[in-house]
Each structure stands twice: as structure tokens, then as C-alpha cells.
Amino acid sequence: MLIPNMNPLTVIRDALYFFQRNLGQIVTLCLPLVILEAVLQQLVDHATGPDASPGYGLVVGLLVYPIYTAALILFLDARSRGESPRNRDLLARALQLWPKFALLAAISTLLIVLGLSMFFVPGIYLTVVFAFAEYQLVLRDEPPLAALKSSFELSRGHFWRIFVCILAVLGPLMLLKETGFSVYPPAENPVLSLVLESINSCLQLFLSVVLFRLFMLIRESSGK
């Protein structure tokens, strides 16, 4: 069996090529929900104040993030098989998956946050080994806990490969976000802050494309 090239730079290059070719549909599919998420987050932040629990932000994320992420994963899978799905069909299926996806997101986020609070390293480890859980849930129709277990097993032997892919994408985006908000503080520029947050969240969708590519390559190499 031919072993696929899973060099992180090659994976990112292939994902970037796909992202550029399909940017139009990805934007029309996800951007409205990304903007809605940013608007809701701003409203919650304004209502609760700067000292509010971060749990409010988590709830907002659980309302919207599972829908556009599941829709994107379904789109990636369809395009990898040469299909051209309609956005409304992708969103309809994503809504059906929302309860399971929201539960998965809640469990994984809480575990990662707990890990980050324990000397940081455990949180990084869980972020990496849970990287494929969303794909297992959406594409293999696995329950949340089974998806987490499958992701852990699938990531075995590929930890550093996954870590490099995540860091190479999220690192620059986090730096860009912090730079933007330091120049234009959200409290002083709410509209511009909304635009910057929406753009950053939209760019982070590229990570889903990168991880999908890696997910498919690892499954192919393992014969699963």
C-alpha cells in the first residue's frame, strides 16, 4: 500500500490549495453564522460586564459553533468525493447533528480548560488527541464519548504531526487577533471589533480544512 505524504507542510499546502479553490462556498456557508456568533458574544459581554464568568462565552459558542463547523466538515467530505452539495442541505444536516456536536464540544472544551489549568501541558495534549473527534462524530456518526476515544486512538503515533499543523495555523491567527485588539480595543471600537472577530473566526476555519486533510490521510494509512 502506498503510504500517503503526511509531512505537515505538505498537508498545509494541500489544504491551502483546497481552501482557496472553495473559498466562495465556504464563506457563504459559514460567514453568516460566524458573524451571528460574534454579535451574540458582544451582546453577552456587554450585558454581563468585563468580570463575568467565561462560561457565558462558552454557552454562546455551543449555540452556533457546532452548526457551522459540522456544515463545513460535511462540505469537505462531499467535495473530497467530487460532489457539490447545496448549503441548505449541509446546514439542515448540521442542525440534526447539533445536540451531539454541542455535547462533544462542551465535554472536550471543559477537559481542555481543566488540562490548561494543570500546568498548561495537559491541555495542549488533550487539544491534540481530541483533534479528530468532530470528524468522527460528523462523518462516522459516533456518539460524543466514542468520538473522543476514536480520536485518541487515531492520533496515536501522530501527536507531533497534529501539533505542528495546529500550531502553524493557530499561532499566526492568535498573534494577529491580539495585535488587532491591542490597536483597536473592543470597548472603544465595538463595530471594528466585531469585524476583526468575524474575520479571525472565518480564517480559523482553515484549521478545519487542514485537520480534515490530515484526518483522511491518517485513516488511509491505517486502513480504517
Q: Domain ranges for the chain, please list them.
A: 8-222
Burial 29-57 (b: 16+ CB within 10 A, else e): bbbebbbbbbebbbeebeeeeeeeeeeee
If you count DSSP H runs as helices and E runs as strands, how many of each does the chain have, helices first?
9, 0
Are 127 and 166 in contact, with CB atoms under 8 Å apart? yes
pTM of the model: 0.92
Q: Is residue 189 classed as helix, strand or coil in its secondary structure?
A: coil
Using the Cα atoms of residue 78, residue 79, residue 81 and residue 82 in order, give the sign of their dihedral. Answer: positive
State the average pLDDT over residues 70-78: 97
Q: Which class for 156: exposed (0-12), middle (13-18), buried (19 or more C-beta within 10 A)?
A: exposed
Residues 6+ apart with CB under 8 A from 16: 206
Q: What are the pLDDT digits (tens) for 95-133? A: 999 999 999 999 999 999 898 888 889 999 999 999 999
Q: What is the pLDDT of residues 15-52, one digit of tens each?
A: 999 999 999 999 999 999 999 998 888 888 777 766 66
Rounded CA separation 221/126 (Å): 23
pLDDT of residue 53: 66
Q: Rounded to whole angstroms, how far apart are CA atoms 36 and 21?
A: 25
